[in-house]
Each structure stands twice: as structure tokens, then as C-alpha cells.
Structure 1
């Protein structure tokens, strides 16, 4: 994917916001994500909490630095020293995992330390006076000893990790964020597949359709199989099921590959584009459904996903609206 330059062009604050959006998508990992910024960040940039205990439980820190070159050892040691110092002060427990988000990568010496955790601990202790002591709190010299040294010795430096642009772009959770930040087009959704047997998710809209066919025929149909075998309505029913599953496949694909608001915006455009026809006067319920389907085909939505919203997808949205209770076909 060609977003290396876009990410490298982000400044520090935008990189933090980008990372916050990214890890917020990792809902299987975190119960909450927060971004800390400014003088009171205490060494935290973007934090993912693994439990509702937040800073009293396990948490991950994403340290975001956008340098014009690779991340240097001195800068990394200072950031580690800062967060462990504030942990010693009782502001929070030490992070269980510490990520350096370094879009341009790490210097060779730092990379060597990351892959040799005990060497990183030794480097932080030995270089404390030159890299950390006078740089953590303005106007103060922080001596290394006592409980602070104990925290450093107890900290698992094996959980200090690096994240590069390639790591970010290779994560499935990044796709929606790339779409938001850089207008990434996730491409077309796969086509819908209509199962032979009715899916349980179809029951709400199908029930309304079956009633509409019975109303038009002058006598009720027992079930969808009776409609399917009817020469007047069978093909019409199959068209509606096809539309439903085209929309279903579309929704599933873009929920995974764009932000939720992109899909919601498209739904909203189609809903308002057909709502006048839905509320209009019609000869019967099936007349209302057909009028809405015709109008859905003509709706021209906007937004990131509009180019991929085929006619059947837009029509299928309307059956999903019926499933969700937004539309009740018989009025």
C-alpha cells in the first residue's frame, strides 16, 4: 500500500491522533483507548487499557515520535526513563507493553538494545545521568536509586517493542484509519451470495414481503416457499433476496475496511433519498416496495463509498431498513 510517505509526513500531534484512531480499532485488545498530550502526559502518548482498571491494571503505551531521521538511543532511553520515573511516583503502574511508534525506524544501536532486553536495562541505568537525570523534570536532577532503581530492575524490557510504517500498514485494523486520514479506497466489496435456505436474519423483511404478496394476490401465502413457487411473485421474491445479500456483503466488507461513519453516511443518503417515496401514497404494500426500489436505484449518494454502491446494494439497504424497523412496508 502506498501510504508510507503520507504517514512519514504527519507531525508529532497528527501521528498521535493517527495511532489513537488505529489502536481504537483493535477492540479485541483494548477496552479503552486514550491519548495524552501536553505537559501533563507524564511520558504517555497513546494508551490502550486492557481492563477497566485502566492505569491500575495492565496497559500498553504507544510512544509516538516523528523524527526527521531514525529514532536515536538517547531519545528512547529518555522516554523510558520518564515513564518509569512517573510510575515510581505513583502516577500509574508501569506499562505492561511499551511500543515505540517510529515511522522512520530505529538507529542500529537502539534496535540492538530492543532485541537484547537485558542490555537495554543496563544501558538505561548506565546512561541515566547523561540521558535522563536533568531532562525528565524541568529544573530538577533526578537521581537514580532506591525505589526508582528497583522499578527499572523489575521492569520487563522484553516488552519494549518497535512499530514501523510497515507494521502499521500490515495490520488489518489500519485499513479504516487509512481511509479516514488519506482517502484510501478499499476497493469494491465482494458480491452477495444468496443461500438456498432462508437465513434467520431475513425473517423480518421476508415476513413483510410475504404479507405484501398475499395482499396483492388476494389471499395469504403460507411461507416464502409458496411465494417462490408462484409464477407471478417467485422471481420478484428472488430479486429482493439478492438485493438483501448484496447489501449484506457490502456492509460486512466496509465495516472491516472503513470507519463506521463512512458506511453510516451512505446508509443515510439512501434512506433520505427514498424516504419520500416510502411515505407516499401507493395502491398497495407491494406498490410501495416497488416504488422505493425504483427510487433507490436512482439515488446518487456522496462520500467515500458512493462509487462502490451498486444499484442492488442501494436497493438492498431498504430491506435492511425494514429489518431494523426504519421501514414498515404496510402503512
Structure 2
């Protein structure tokens, strides 16, 4: 039996201190993609690496990409708060890139760090002061500046002089989570249980194509047990022995479909498919036994579904008896379970 899923009790901030820089970049990339529609981005990509020229994650507005209008996200995963002394060397890189490559200057350059020092936040909120500090940094010629060819440094200073420093922003973890926490990725990224509960699907009065095969299998069972005069779903609805039974099976099927949709929208990955596979591995052993009738096989499998141990699934709190029975019919709908087998009738 699989071990129970141990959800993380630490806050996101406590967790990110143990991340690798690549994880922080991926997290920033996911957040930027969540904001594509609001910002009007055409695309978002991770560059990262030693030659990223200060652009870990980029978001662009046109097919020109980094030759057109774009936003830059510089990801910094430090144990301490991001300070001005950390930011200044990074601010140099996009200006150098415009001199040495065909890249345009980003219209927004955001530092993304778990925590931003209040003084850096304050300076970034005053672009005139930030520009003054950066010009002083260039004049002091620390190692990154001193390493530049003189012609490149002159060109950088010219671009800096003509640049509005309101392009620089700083974003901390709390600001990212305002958007990210509403995403299905949130639970997976921080190993939290999914939020909310499945929205109940209404069972349609008339069966639709999505439930056709599992209903056919039920008709096989009814015909075998009660007679061939139960030839259609309508016959089953109106028959005194099967009318209530088929109604309960449809309710179970749609309860399981509700859980499937919830998992798709609230849990990243294939949590429902994994759960279904785990359940099938158990039920197939029951279904493969010799039964004198399809009715006996159906009833035994439905009963066994309530005893399957699935404590490792993040969906366990929503996987009640009705969803378990409904999953049996989902599996029958895909012919992964069969009630009436030749030779076992």
C-alpha cells in the first residue's frame, strides 16, 4: 500500500529557501505566464544561464521578441533580502546588451526575489534617485564596470542618460502569490492539498454519448438477469427491477465525472488518472474471478471499490463511495472493466 501523502506545513517563504535557482526561475516563468493576458504578452520564455545578459525570464509583445518591446524578469534567490548593492551590477547588463547585441532595452525590468530590502524598494519607487545612484555606480568603476571596453562604457552612459528609470521594478514572493495562489499549480508547487470541492454535475434526463458504453454494459447485465425484453435504456428506466438501479449508477457516474473535472482544474498533473489507474489495478483482480453472472461481477466490483486503499492520492478527501462506484462505470465506459464475459454467464 502506498504511503499517505504528506502535505507540507511550511509557508511558501520557508520552502523557497531550500529551492535551487532553477526552481525560482521556473516559478517566476509560471507566474509570468499566468499574467500573459493581463499584460498582453505574446509569449514568455526562460533564458537563464551564464550568458543571459541579465534576463532570466523574458516576456515579449510581438514577433520581434527581444528586438521589439519586451519585459525582463531577473530572478534572484538569496538567503537575505535583495539589496541595492545586489541590483546595481544586474542593472548594468541590459544596457551593455543593447550595445553589444541587437537587443532593445526592455520597457520593464523587474527584480524578482523572495524578499526585497525596504531601502531598495524605496529607491526603485523613486526612479530619479535610482538613476542618480546608478550613474554614481558607473563613475566609481567597480569590477563589472572596469571590465568594460572604454567604447562600450561610453555607449552605456549615453543610453543611461536617455533612459527613464521607471522601467525598473522589484517584485517579492508575496506579490507573486497574489496571482499564483489562484492557480492549480499552487498546490503542486508547494505540496498543499487542493482547495475547494468538486462542483456537482447535474445528471441529464436523457443519456448522452459520453455515457453510452457503460450503459450498454448495464443493459447486458439486465438482459442476462431479467430477460431480453430490456433491450434499450428506456426499457431499463421503466422496468420495475432496474429503473431505480440504473438511476443510481448514472448518479454515481456523474459524481465521478465531477471529481474528474475538479482534478483537471484544481490539481496539476494527472492526479485523477493516477487514482483511476491505482483503483483499476485493484478491481481488475476482482473482475477477473469466475462469476455465475454479470450481475454478480458488477455487484462484487462495486462493493470492492469501497474497500480500495487510496490514501496516497491528493483527491482522497473527495473520493467517497458514490465517486468510487462511479469510477467503476467510467472504467466500464472505456472497456477497462467488463461485466458480462463469455463463459462466465
Bin the TM-score by the shorter chain: 0.7 to 0.9
Aligned in 2, Cα 1:273/1:102: closer, same or farther, shift over 3 Å?
A: same
Mapping for residues 1-331 of structure 1, pairs under 5 Å: 3-11=11-19, 13=21, 15-16=23-24, 19=27, 22-23=30-31, 26=34, 35-47=46-58, 60-90=71-101, 95=106, 98-113=109-124, 115=125, 119=128, 122-123=131-132, 126-127=135-136, 129=138, 134-135=143-144, 139-140=147-148, 143-146=152-155, 149-150=158-159, 153=162, 160-172=168-180, 176-187=184-195, 189-190=197-198, 192-198=200-206, 200=208, 201-219=210-228, 221=230, 223-305=232-314, 307-308=316-317, 309-324=319-334, 326-327=336-337, 331=341
Q: Is the 8 A contact 2:131 2:165 kept in 1?
A: no
TM-superposed CA distance for 1:204, in Å, is 4.1
Aligned in 2, Cα 1:146/1:325: closer, same or farther, shift over 3 Å?
A: farther
Aligned in 2, Cα 1:20/1:284: closer, same or farther, shift over 3 Å?
A: farther
TM-superposed CA distance for 1:189, in Å, is 2.7
Deviation string, structure 1 residues 40-75 (Cα, Å, up to 9, x no partner): 333233456778887567765432223344322343
In structure 1, how many angstroms separate the alpha carbons of the residues matched to 2:221 and 2:165?
66
Secondary structure of the residue aligned to 2:74 is: strand
Q: Is the 8 A contact 1:7 1:15 kept in 2?
A: no
Higher relative contact order (CA closer than 8 Å, sequence separation 6+): 2
Secondary structure of the residue aligned to 2:258 is: helix
Deviation string, structure 1 residues 75-96 (Cα, Å, up to 9, x no partner): 3343233244335433756556
In structure 1, how many angstroms separate the alpha carbons of the residues matched to 2:15 and 2:107?
26
What do you get for the CA RMSD once the two structures are aligned? 4.2
Aligned in 2, Cα 1:185/1:71: closer, same or farther, shift over 3 Å?
A: same
- Structure of larger gyration radius: 2
TM-superposed CA distance for 1:300, in Å, is 0.5
Deviation string, structure 1 residues 232-254 (Cα, Å, up to 9, x no partner): 11222222222222222222223
Identify the residue that residue 5 of structure 2 maps to in structure 1: none
Secondary structure of the residue aligned to 1:41 is: coil
In structure 1, how many angstroms separate the alpha carbons of the residues matched to 2:140 and 2:121?
14
TM-superposed CA distance for 1:298, in Å, is 1.4
Length-normalised TM-score, structure 2 = 0.72
Q: Is the 8 A contact 1:47 1:61 kept in 2?
A: yes
Unaligned ranges ≥5, structure 1: none
